[in-house]
């Protein structure tokens, strides 16, 4: 009786191990890439905005024209994280609310 239990256990363990090798080929699964993963920022396309007022409308224009998926404002004297994101456009402005720099990352 002990041998039958051991044999059943080994058969189940083998089936579970092989089950992990199955690859799903369904095309009905949703796209799990992060939003904006296929968008790349182009800061050269928006350099003409340097010197303009830092407004919500200007930010929307920079975001659209740069091709980026995300906009990050940089207020005077604030620190930013150093993580690089190819889908993000960064806009720094001064105390007069004038755009001083537009970069990607």
Q: Is the pTM of this model over 0.75?
A: no
Phi, psi of 80 (to 5 degrees): -120, 155
Mean pLDDT per block of 10 residues along the chain (105 residues) reads: 53 46 42 62 98 98 97 94 94 98 97
Which residues have a Cβ under 8 Å from the Cβ of 17 and sit 6 or more positions away?
none
- pLDDT at position 16 is 45
Q: Of 3.40.30.10, 3.20.20.60, 3.30.10.10, 3.40.50.300, which CATH number belongs to 43-104?
A: 3.30.10.10
């Amino acid at each position: 009786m002990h041998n039958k239990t051991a044999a059943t256990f080994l058969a189940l363990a083998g089936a579970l191990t092989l089950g992990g090798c199955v690859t799903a080929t369904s095309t009905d699964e949703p796209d799990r890439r992060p939003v904006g993963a296929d968008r790349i920022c182009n800061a050269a396309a928006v350099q003409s905005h340097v010197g303009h007022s830092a407004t919500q409308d200007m930010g929307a224009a920079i975001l659209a024209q740069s091709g980026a998926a995300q906009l990050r404002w940089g207020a005077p004297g604030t620190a930013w994280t150093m993580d690089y994101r190819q889908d993000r456009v960064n806009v720094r402005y001064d105390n007069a609310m004038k755009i001083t720099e537009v970069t990607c990352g």
